[in-house]
Structure 1
């Protein structure tokens, strides 16, 4: 055998010996371990708690997660522009700033989500600090604008602990645009004192509602995420800065060799981001004395010197005192600044302590502004002051309940102005301006509930769509109805409870109903508030109440202009009713009916009038016998029926005819008696409803007889005011002044020779002598009719006067008049001017296009113009709450043919919901309205033509 075989045997023997030894050792060790284990059993270690996985990725919807609660913002802003420029000025239309946000963590997270849009920031400028532990939480990554959410996602190298406090520091930069949203630039001219060249001035102004705070600084931009704000503004030397808080201190500094001022403002109360506001300007102000609040009206220096802010100054302090007394709660800030902005997308904005207005809504020029302008300013100021409680102190939780802000402010504004001016009959104006306005939108199947589900309102466009006649006007109408039903005393008591319980917080419908119910219970009432109001706020539309006065039967159904769409909706309807010769009664209808009620049953020749004083949000139809008795009463002695109900009967009849519930001849017959009535409300209602007929028929053979009928009817009204009109004067009463305007407007539009001669002569005197003797109340009508009856010379003169006018209210009158010409080429040129902000300010572009569309000569031009420029218009002019819904609504009002319906559908298909943005719902409503118009015209055109011809043959 060889050597290798012998070594293998030896190795094998040694391996066996070692294996046996190892096994023996292991056995011995196991025995020893068992004995020790039995003597002293070890305690089992605790099972570790399962850790919930941290959420990853984007939130499931467009809403911020609720894991972080903002407490305070320390915000620094530095607009870089110069408010005055010279040939050597290096102008920079930008701003930069920093924000230090203090927040509380309420759910574990490794990611911070907040909002940021169009801001430039970098990861190395973001710092997160754990305040409680005194350490930095490292940032691992940053993402912006994922899927158009406007989210800023800050990814952390660590986890935020529940119950701990943190700060988030961010530096950022942004552009100062001119799109009237976020932080933007406005401009105006001041008459030079040294030469003939006017000086241009710039200012910085903010408009953050509803979702544009995120354009100014990264923030938690949702209304329920309230916080306190400490604002510091770094601005050019010689300018003045304003923000919500009271000015704490202002210091001069030098930065990069240039002089600046640093203005620091006192910390605000807890409030929503959309209420934050800033301005930097060379404005001056006038003060409004108040025993506790420093009130200032800020405007262009020349406007202040001319006294244009004096009217607003006088009413603001009175209005503030009224609300404090009415609500039993003082205004919570030390100061209130009201600013008249040369460029402003909305009418006004209620920012807490710093309210913004467009100039025409705040500045009043004696001898130039009309009674309409005066009332408008009073109403807008009252609306914004009411917001200081409803919207600012208590804010809706989410935009689906915007009506809790806007409905309240609208309703209370009429109470406020009515308190200051009891002779203005604001109760009647509320019915005209709010209830009948809301009725038109709410009678479409494409309307929406006053309060919808939160998830139905997600995107910025969804939110902007909420700013419509439903939130404002219907909200006000329902509050008025509720206050009437539960009593004014219970209503006010409930509001006080609501404000006390939810101050500096947020609310939804149920919170309001809860506190109103408490008030009703304390006053011994029996109304179930939530049960009643749920049917009004959570259902779209409104009911038609049908009454048979022979049997006393009453029923309800959903009123729609196009009744082919049916919804099984029932409301709890408080009906105030009066029979001729009897006292009023109230009946609550809770079923669709019919129900038999003695209050609605009339004796022989007795009429029944429901919805007394129009306190209810519904329309009423009667059996033919009762209609005949009511119309006979209006012919023989209209004073027996309240003025507002005379208007209601006309409005209900016309809209019932549009919906096919009554014959169109009944509606037209309600206007016969007007030849003997000089009251404003019924005339105003009739004019508005005839406007629908004009829109439907001013391109057809019906127009001639209809125009002749209106000319005959208005002749008595025109003659009633003719002497004061020719004397360039006005009547004493507020409502008569309004009706004088109606008389001139209707008489001239429909060819009354005396009226047309009068306006041409007045306008010619102005053109030749450069002396305007036209009374401010009548300028709106006289300017328009003179331009319509004239030619290029009159148009060019009006354009020059528009360019030279220094009063915003005078500019508005002339801007409207320029749309009245019948010259197609002038209208086309005027439409092109709306694309040039140096000719027509951006804030006026939409209304100017709509003015042209009102003109039958400009209808097709305006529609073609909007379609051709839609993308540009929506991008350049559609920011913030500058909703394009009114544009679509305005340019399609006259649509009543199959071809126009086809064009609408093609436009909708071409742009899609994303391309239409906030105008999406308005286009759906335009399509529905056009379909209803087509059917109505086909059904009624011949009947309407014959009725007007028959009236012209009457003696």
Structure 2
């Protein structure tokens, strides 16, 4: 308990008296105060007005404020890089410094400015009202997370209503070798020493790849495509280096701290997005395009002297003029340069006025180059030049509509190459439509146009650079053009480009311009193709005339219920005329014109594969088409022969058609030598090989393929033996198919031919100084066949030649051949090389691993390698646009077993645990594909085995 206390009685009485007196006094005071209030009431103070709430916090998403509009940038960059190290006293420097002043228009009062910055050391930030020296007090912070925000908080505020402000930043950064942002390339160049002997010297260059979100790695900026501005670039660099950028350059020498430097100032760009800015510093030379004003091809000196840029010089202006006519607008810049880079993580990049390419995409060697190499150069140039209008002049507002850039460039490239003498329009079915079908038959695919808020992070943006965006987009544009007529389509495009030049668009802007050229309901027709995932399978019952549609999926499941508007084109065997029918509903619809009575009559839909859909028939109509193909395949258009094969095999994979019907559709090929049906069959039979080449079914498959390809091989054998090629380009492709299939599946005469040619090739010590006996078209196939049949010595020979040659296209053929060996230890060694840039260039890492995974001996090695090195790969390659999704796709194509599915899911759990967003959609897709493969193999293995055994 507590300790007690006490007081006297006298003191207690005194305290009581004082207390009563005090209470009485307080009561009197309250009464008197109330009397005063009643006599003169005080005024009620006004409600204080609240000051305006100024934005000070970060936005709830990862987008910049839309009321700060950049108008121009003045950027000065000073890379300290040397193009060559000429003595032991010079230290190479992978470092740059710079400053930038961006002028912006403020449309709303604000206390905060948001810009983007990533991997830069920002040393100073100043904010001034334009035209004034008065500096606004501010402090800044950098958010090193997905936002990449440089947040400038002001003590005062920016005034809205179009007031201009200048933001000055001073910064420094590092030139990495990660193929993104502002980065370094290493390469070797042959030169003469004092004794006139060839000597390889190490060289360096600095270049840029800013798409999609890497301009922020070079200077603080508003790095969103809709925030276009004019860019005024100055580069201070070492002597002996040429600086190139989007505009015309003017150079002069200065001295800084006792050292000589060169200052190159470029003419301002047109108003454009940050990702289209580009710069390169290299000791390159060029070849001018004589018919074009200020057009040049830049490359290594050795390549220019050897004439490897001549073909690009020949065709660039032709394609450009062709586009000017097609699009109704002149190329808007005063110069167009193209540069071939030793290392670029994408095939090419459409920087406005200064396009970057991998060397194999721009340079062509007449001696070692194949026809396919030459066509690739033409196609890639046509793609990038199309971007100068679609993407650069008119740009999508946000990355969710990336297809407005890439689908148009892909589709228009088939039109552009015509000016260079290539007729490739039918090959769009193989290259784009069938490729897009594969990824878009998965629920984990995505619509062409997504909601803006669904695409936020850099990883999510990079994932959109896929077959849906490029290939499905091109296929849908081709379908739309056929629906409204090619003439009306091109006329609407001219309006689109004219109305929105130097601006940004969403896809409805495109539809409105096209709608002005037709009475058809384009929005009704196109909305489902653009806004929803997937595509339909149209089922035609020729016994009842019923027609229906539903979403096509490889994995059994429930698709969405939204029907597509489908224009069905068809022919009937008793009527040669092409007919059209529009299907808008999902359930069965009675269409008597599809009903067939005669036993020998058939119907064929989706003529020339114009529509982006698959077609299924009742079994009787399938059998009639089979009979027609075996009786006279010429009665079926060549594109549709390929389409029937591709549809049937995928319908069988999707559990909608008996697998024996699909396999039977390959029997007529013994009499067909056309490329499209053969290529379609080989791509689909390759799936059977991937599913069964680790089982007892594989023996029967190899025997069947060997039997079927013999006629095709013999058809081209005279050309092959004479080291010549057919005249027609599609025949040239099929000659390669004949050799690849015949040698791969053990046709003795093919293996003998390939081995003999390779040995002659190997024994010629001057193989790269004189034309080889192996035609360049056939080298890839023959090299691979010989290495597969050869030994370690053969592999070492090809590896040495790979290291020695400087021609990129020839290196690619040799690099592919090295993956064909059956020796496990060599494949493991080759995998290790892929992470050594001195052996395999960074840009070739993904394709090389995928080549190895294509080899049945290399596939498990490649998967284990990717899993084990994933953290390193994502660290080294994940920041840029390089396709890690393609890597996952390539190393898992054979997955069809429960244990492999569990490995994938475990891999996904590990990524989720580490919060890695790299290739997340691609991982979902390969998991879904593997689940579909497991189900299909379990259901069909015995039937497949029985069918192939029955054909032997």
> What TM bracket, shorter-length normalisation?
over 0.9
Work out the CA distance in 2 between the residues paired with 1:140 and 1:170: 13
- The match for 2:904 is 904
CA shift, 1:228, in A, is: 0.5
Contact (CA 8 Å) 2:846, 2:883: kept in 1 or not?
no
Work out the CA distance in 2 between the residues paired with 1:77 and 1:899: 53
CA shift, 1:728, in A, is: 0.8
- The match for 2:189 is 190
- The match for 2:566 is 573
Work out the CA distance in 2 between the residues paired with 1:199 and 1:764: 31
1:586 aligns to 2:587 (yes or no): no
- The match for 2:935 is 935
CA shift, 1:822, in A, is: 0.3
Contact (CA 8 Å) 1:343, 1:841: kept in 2 or not?
yes
Work out the CA distance in 2 between the residues paired with 1:349 and 1:140: 38
Work out the CA distance in 1 between the residues paired with 2:670 and 2:775: 25
CA shift, 1:45, in A, is: 12
Distance change in 2, residues 1:49/1:250 (3 Å): farther
CA shift, 1:90, in A, is: 1.7
- Residue 597 of structure 1, aligned match among 585, 591, 595: 591
CA shift, 1:586, in A, is: 1.0
CA displacement, residues 332-371 of structure 1 (integer Å, 9 cap, x when unaligned):
1010110100000111000000000000111100121111
CA shift, 1:748, in A, is: 0.2
CA shift, 1:65, in A, is: 1.2
CA displacement, residues 465-493 of structure 1 (integer Å, 9 cap, x when unaligned):
11000000000000000000001111111
- The match for 2:497 is 499
CA shift, 1:875, in A, is: 0.5
Residue segments in structure 1 that go unaligned for 5+ positions in a row: 1-22, 38-43, 521-525
CA displacement, residues 896-948 of structure 1 (integer Å, 9 cap, x when unaligned):
00010011011111121865433111111111111111111111111111111
- The match for 1:777 is 777
1:224 counterpart SS class? coil
- The match for 2:749 is 754
User: Relative to structure 2, which stretch is displaced further, 911-920 or 790-799?
Assistant: 911-920
Contact (CA 8 Å) 2:556, 2:932: kept in 1 or not?
no
CA shift, 1:237, in A, is: 1.0
- Residue 673 of structure 2, aligned match among 672, 675, 678: 678
CA displacement, residues 557-596 of structure 1 (integer Å, 9 cap, x when unaligned):
0000012243213100111111123311111100013112
CA shift, 1:603, in A, is: 4.3
- The match for 2:730 is 735
TM-score for the superposition, normalised by structure 2: 0.93
Work out the CA distance in 2 between the residues paired with 1:146 and 1:740: 54
CA displacement, residues 86-141 of structure 1 (integer Å, 9 cap, x when unaligned):
2221211011111010000011111110000000012xx21111125x24243332
Work out the CA distance in 2 between the residues paired with 1:497 and 1:229: 27
2:122 counterpart SS class? coil
Distance change in 2, residues 1:146/1:834 (3 Å): closer
CA displacement, residues 848-873 of structure 1 (integer Å, 9 cap, x when unaligned):
11111000000110011011110001
Distance change in 2, residues 1:46/1:336 (3 Å): farther
- Residue 223 of structure 2, aligned match among 221, 224, 238: 221
Distance change in 2, residues 1:294/1:890 (3 Å): same
- The match for 1:511 is 509
- The match for 2:344 is 344
- The match for 1:458 is 456
- The match for 1:546 is 539
- The match for 1:112 is 113
- The match for 2:524 is 531
CA displacement, residues 775-814 of structure 1 (integer Å, 9 cap, x when unaligned):
1000110001100100100000000000001100000000
Contact (CA 8 Å) 1:83, 1:201: kept in 2 or not?
yes
Contact (CA 8 Å) 2:318, 2:419: kept in 1 or not?
no
Work out the CA distance in 2 between the residues paired with 1:420 and 1:197: 37
Work out the CA distance in 2 between the residues paired with 1:835 and 1:798: 19
Distance change in 2, residues 1:913/1:619 (3 Å): farther
Work out the CA distance in 2 between the residues paired with 1:314 and 1:260: 36
CA shift, 1:306, in A, is: 0.4
- The match for 2:122 is 121
Work out the CA distance in 1 between the residues paired with 2:505 and 2:794: 54
1:288 aligns to 2:283 (yes or no): no
- The match for 1:17 is none
CA shift, 1:330, in A, is: 0.5
CA shift, 1:290, in A, is: 3.0
- The match for 1:394 is 394
Work out the CA distance in 2 between the residues paired with 1:757 and 1:569: 56
Equivalences, count:
908
Contact (CA 8 Å) 1:577, 1:600: kept in 2 or not?
no
CA shift, 1:453, in A, is: 0.8
Work out the CA distance in 1 between the residues paired with 2:180 and 2:830: 25
Work out the CA distance in 2 between the residues paired with 1:647 and 1:356: 35
Contact (CA 8 Å) 2:146, 2:457: kept in 1 or not?
no
Work out the CA distance in 1 between the residues paired with 2:252 and 2:275: 28
1:650 aligns to 2:645 (yes or no): yes
Contact (CA 8 Å) 1:445, 1:565: kept in 2 or not?
no
- The match for 2:425 is 427
Contact (CA 8 Å) 1:901, 1:931: kept in 2 or not?
yes
Distance change in 2, residues 1:257/1:756 (3 Å): same
- Residue 140 of structure 1, aligned match among 133, 138, 141: 138
Contact (CA 8 Å) 1:495, 1:515: kept in 2 or not?
yes
- The match for 1:307 is 307
CA shift, 1:199, in A, is: 1.0
1:869 counterpart SS class? helix
Work out the CA distance in 1 between the residues paired with 2:112 and 2:288: 48
Work out the CA distance in 1 between the residues paired with 2:754 and 2:828: 25
Residue segments in structure 2 that go unaligned for 5+ positions in a row: 1-31
1:411 counterpart SS class? helix
CA shift, 1:84, in A, is: 1.1
- Residue 472 of structure 1, aligned match among 458, 470, 473: 470
Work out the CA distance in 2 between the residues paired with 1:616 and 1:946: 35
- The match for 2:90 is 89
CA displacement, residues 500-550 of structure 1 (integer Å, 9 cap, x when unaligned):
111111001111111111122xxxxx3111121111011100000000122
C-alpha RMSD of matched pairs (Å): 2.0
CA displacement, residues 630-668 of structure 1 (integer Å, 9 cap, x when unaligned):
111111111111110000000000000001111000000
- The match for 2:708 is 713
CA shift, 1:252, in A, is: 0.8
Contact (CA 8 Å) 1:386, 1:412: kept in 2 or not?
yes
CA shift, 1:46, in A, is: 10
- The match for 1:6 is none
- The match for 1:257 is 258
1:155 aligns to 2:153 (yes or no): yes
CA shift, 1:419, in A, is: 4.0
- The match for 2:20 is none
CA shift, 1:50, in A, is: 4.5
Contact (CA 8 Å) 1:577, 1:599: kept in 2 or not?
no
Work out the CA distance in 2 between the residues paired with 1:869 and 1:777: 35
- Residue 246 of structure 2, aligned match among 244, 247, 253: 244
TM-score for the superposition, normalised by structure 1: 0.93
- The match for 1:490 is 488
CA shift, 1:47, in A, is: 8.7
Contact (CA 8 Å) 2:439, 2:445: kept in 1 or not?
yes
CA displacement, residues 59-99 of structure 1 (integer Å, 9 cap, x when unaligned):
11111111210000001111111001122212110111110
Work out the CA distance in 2 between the residues paired with 1:915 and 1:476: 34
Contact (CA 8 Å) 2:911, 2:917: kept in 1 or not?
no
Contact (CA 8 Å) 2:146, 2:458: kept in 1 or not?
no
